[in-house]
Amino acid sequence: MVTIVLDPGHGGEDPGAIGRGGSYEKTVTLSVARRLKEKIDATPNMRSVLTRDGDYFIPLQQRVQKARRVRADLFVSVHADAFVKITARGSSVFVLSETGASSSAARWLANKENSADLVGGVNLGVKDPYLARTLLDLSQTATINDSLKLGKDVLGELGRINTLHKPHVEQAGFAVLKAPDIPSILIETAFISNPEEEARLNDEVYQDRMAEAILKGIRRYFAKNPPLAKSKLARLD
């Protein structure tokens, strides 16, 4: 049985990006994540846990902590993108970078997502002082490699139902991707700032197709990387 933690981006006082048609990122991410949860729970040997199942705010670190508490095998954060240019479009998948953002656009986006912690107003960024730094780095490196594989499989499936914003998995310093021992991806489903994509993000049939594509990517990843064959470096608790 594998456990997949689904993280609908934003929530509560943090609406995320707001489309020109008035829809909130926090609302569409929850809809897509709930649909994905249903599909995962209906799949043999898979179960899912939502970091939030309602319209409330959770600091980013708590989302990661929840994933570690349930010993998640994967962490999938669901977002919708926004940009000042109305024509920006397409799906993206991000994994954690070790050296920070891989491009200035990614850096801008990383800052935007990280700033959600300030909205919560609670400083939860304290690292466990007892963790051996070397072990942590080793685990993190292995986890980023797994995250890249997962991201590639999910991006491939997203490319069947939507334009891809970039043809490859991007890397950035999102706080929500920082579990050192759980492969983690952040999906920007589409641009809520693009009126055409905003309309689709609100469409139930499209939300379902989006959830289905993400599930297919996850299943493709597990088919190639069976969880039992994976030797975990360490469970850092």
The answer to whether 79 contacts Zn ion (rule: CB under 5 A) is yes
The answer to whether 16 contacts Zn ion (rule: CB under 5 A) is yes
Q: Which stretch binds Zn ion (CB under 5 A): 2-10, 68-76, 155-163, 200-208?
A: 2-10
CB of 107 to Zn ion, least distance (A): 15
The answer to whether 11 contacts Zn ion (rule: CB under 5 A) is no
CB of 138 to Zn ion, least distance (A): 30
Cα–Cα distance list, 111 to 25, 106, 136, 195, 209 (Å): 16, 9, 24, 24, 29
CB of 82 to Zn ion, least distance (A): 8
Q: Which stretch binds Zn ion (CB under 5 A): 1-9, 99-107, 204-212, 214-222?
A: 1-9
- The position carrying tokens 């397409």 is 90
27 or 143, CB closer to Zn ion?
27
CB of 77 to Zn ion, least distance (A): 8
CB of 21 to Zn ion, least distance (A): 17
With a CB cutoff of 8 Å and minimum separation 6, the contacts of 50 are 5, 6, 7, 8, 33, 34, 37
Tell me the C-alpha distance between 50 and 177, whole Å: 15
Q: Which stretch binds Zn ion (CB under 5 A): 7-15, 51-59, 172-180, 226-234?
A: 7-15
Q: Which stretch binds Zn ion (CB under 5 A): 74-82, 153-161, 196-204, 225-233?
A: 74-82
Q: What is the total residue count of the chain?
A: 237
155 or 187, CB closer to Zn ion?
187
The answer to whether 19 contacts Zn ion (rule: CB under 5 A) is no
Torsion of Cα atoms, 126 then 232 then 152 then 98, to 10° = 40
**Binder of Zn ion out of 8, 9, 183, 217 (CB under 5 A):** 9
CB of 186 to Zn ion, least distance (A): 8
4 or 17, CB closer to Zn ion?
17
Residue nearest to Zn ion (CB): 79
9 or 151, CB closer to Zn ion?
9
CB of 79 to Zn ion, least distance (A): 3
Q: Is 114 exposed, middle or buried (0-12, 13-18, 19+ CB in 10 A)?
A: middle
Q: Give the residues lining the site for Zn ion (CB under 5 A).
A: 9, 16, 79
